[in-house]
Chains A and B, each alone.
Chain A
């Protein structure tokens, strides 16, 4: 985590500038969409509701993005720089998980100002009592999504150049999490199925809960799916790591 705080501009860009730009784009987009459609509601929700969803979903999506650490883990394995970690008495998984969680905690505290400020400027309403429980769910989900990234990174033990897999995985999560469009826009059956996957905990469930789209039942489902996701991906991660390390050739040193 210290390495990420070493460079001020890099940190401020990541924690403040990028969320601010993303929020501006979302606001512009949804204003233009409603103005162009000339309607007050789409699928039963007004501009205010969509804007609140878009602002908070952009924030949550950024919070749950893992590509940077996934890239680093894969690079360590691919380049052989993992050698200096494998010969030390600690776990590669825990090493990266602690960096990831530490960095996310600090950036969240700083970048939370952006959606809060946007809500104040545009008078967007959310259920404020639900903000902290929603963030708690997202932080729980971070364990799942970082474990998934760890699995993708361990594929570097078997294959060279796995960045295309990271991109493909991110595209999938973009859709399944509800970041691209709220899951409410999917047919009911598909929406229901997607809420039984852990990935909806990145955006749709926490943001929907905060913005009052649904009640505690679906929020509780989020904790359940995150838990089985953690168990499932955790087991897969152990398997992939053990097999990967066994075939590792230590290239690059």
Chain B
């Protein structure tokens, strides 16, 4: 981490996985330049120290930078046994404690506002105590120049965590998620859907540490790459010594629509225990010619057929969007990419126009 005189900071080795590959592949990490605002002399609210020990997906340098740049951190506690209906909106530096047996939905939605907004970032740390249920929804649909999103979750005994990520935004998106399944029988279900096109850069790091006995993790990543997009995904399942009876599975499907795309995939399993099962798979390619032919036979052009896959991403994002803000962000991005007519179809198809919220006023 090197601070320059011009008010920027170079963050090196961001999104580094626990085990690395050949450096010449340039797949081990990403280097980011971020702005720095001097806050000397200011005293802001900080999270309880308990949160400092949580590993976050993008690494310590990003955690330090966001903590230094964010104003007051926000601490939210969901009481034991409480089922919180209203989603918790996590912003720049948020710590959330979900007490034993409680249930909460946490939404992280990257700000929009155009490239002029420069760099935006979110740091979210979550503790899910015994038997807690946590639903995390991440939406990056904006068109800021650069967005960083670092999330760390610790799951206790019998805790159940599901995370749904939608990285659909323009510019550079760097996101890291680290989940520690510390308690026995803790479980993670992770779904990550992404779209990168034009000159977008998408850099994702998933680290799942399975420490408790009989833990489960199921990770699915899939997305579409087009134009000159550059994407790197590192997904690590770490079956730590003592995690006997645990199972971890990870699968990525990548649809490549352009020869100018750069796709880097690094699925890693680290195994220090014999009584476990770890699986991972990756499939990278284009739409099968027979599938294209099938769709063309029904009157679709190749471009329209490929756009169906992109549309499906937005369909799913809209279904999952729990707040008017997130729906607005997804729909605005869908309008930009798919056109207003298709975006209207999405709204109608999902019967969202009837609902109160953004769609009544969104121009589609």
Instruction: Report whether chain A binds chain B.
Output: no
- Point out residues on B near A: beta carbons under 8 Å: none
